């Protein structure tokens, strides 16, 4: 603005060609400065969103890999499949509640083992996030970052989780436990026989738990100023606060 005022002052002393040249130079200077600020802002937004997602993966997902990370977390605890709810009730009525409890625990142990494979996949997805993705996420809903990860990693995570769950089911003895549960139930009179795909069920429930916990961290960073643990997070998420 000052440049334009000075130009106006000197107009009487300049030729038309000189005036046009100075105006062009001043506009180029203003445009370059504005674009530079925008670019820096975009880079900051991208870096802040990546930091926030990394925090969610490091802080929340790592909790799920610990013993009882699923089993003692009511938000993500894996219960019996819907088609086996009747199995659970029947076993407990028949005095076999311990067998049902062991079955549920084994499912959660399998999920805890599988989630250890998640971090590298998340890291790759976060690295590949574009500036446009970051801007849309920042100004999006409270779970926009989680949704981005969900859309960009679910297929890869399922492929990675499924064989680990299958191996873990065997490792923690869940296959024998569930074979016993299903055999016991199917041997009861007047019941419909069941044979659920436990591996597929646990894999999907493990995925649900992972994204649920990342969403918790994202919501905290968006709504809780004290959760913004770096200057970058504070400055960038302040833009979201103004929307």
Q: Which residues of the chain have pLDDT under 70?
A: 1-40, 83, 172-174, 190-191, 194-196, 243
Environment class of 109 (CB within 10 Å of its CB; exposed 0-12, middle 13-18, buried 19+): buried
pTM: 0.72
- pLDDT value, residue 40: 37
- pLDDT value, residue 159: 92
Q: What is the 3-state secondary structure (H, E, C) of 164-225?
A: HHHHHHHHCCHHHHHHHHHHHHHCCCCCCCCCCCHHHHHHHHHHHHHHHHHHHHHHHHHHCH
Q: How far is CA 120 from CA 54, 72, 126, 160, in A?
A: 11, 25, 10, 11
> Which two tokens mark 85?
């709810």
Per residue in 149-167, pLDDT tens?
Answer: 999 999 999 998 998 888 8
Per residue in 60-91, pLDDT tens?
Answer: 888 999 999 999 999 999 988 776 777 778 77
């Amino acid at each position: 603005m000052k440049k334009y005022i000075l130009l106006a002052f000197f107009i009487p002393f300049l030729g038309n060609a000189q005036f046009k040249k100075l105006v062009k130079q001043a506009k180029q200077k203003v445009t370059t400065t504005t674009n530079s600020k925008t670019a820096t802002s975009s880079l900051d937004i991208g870096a802040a969103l990546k930091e926030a997602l990394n925090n969610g993966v490091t802080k929340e997902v790592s909790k799920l890999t610990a013993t009882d990370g699923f089993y003692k977390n009511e938000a993500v605890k894996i219960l019996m499949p819907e088609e086996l709810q009747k199995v659970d009730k029947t076993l407990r009525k028949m005095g076999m509640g311990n067998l049902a409890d062991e079955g549920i625990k084994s499912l959660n142990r399998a999920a805890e083992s599988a989630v250890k494979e998640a971090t590298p996949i998340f890291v790759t997805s976060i690295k590949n996030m574009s500036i446009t993705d970051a801007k849309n996420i920042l100004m999006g809903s409270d779970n926009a970052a989680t949704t981005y990860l969900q859309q960009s990693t679910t297929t890869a995570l399922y492929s990675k989780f499924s064989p680990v769950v299958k191996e873990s089911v065997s490792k923690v003895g869940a296959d024998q436990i569930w074979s016993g549960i299903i055999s016991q139930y199917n041997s009861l009179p007047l019941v419909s026989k069941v044979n659920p795909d436990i591996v597929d069920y646990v894999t999907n429930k493990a995925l649900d738990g992972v994204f649920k916990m990342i969403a918790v961290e994202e919501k905290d960073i968006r709504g809780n100023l004290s959760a913004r643990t770096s200057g970058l997070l504070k400055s960038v998420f302040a833009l979201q606060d103004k929307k």
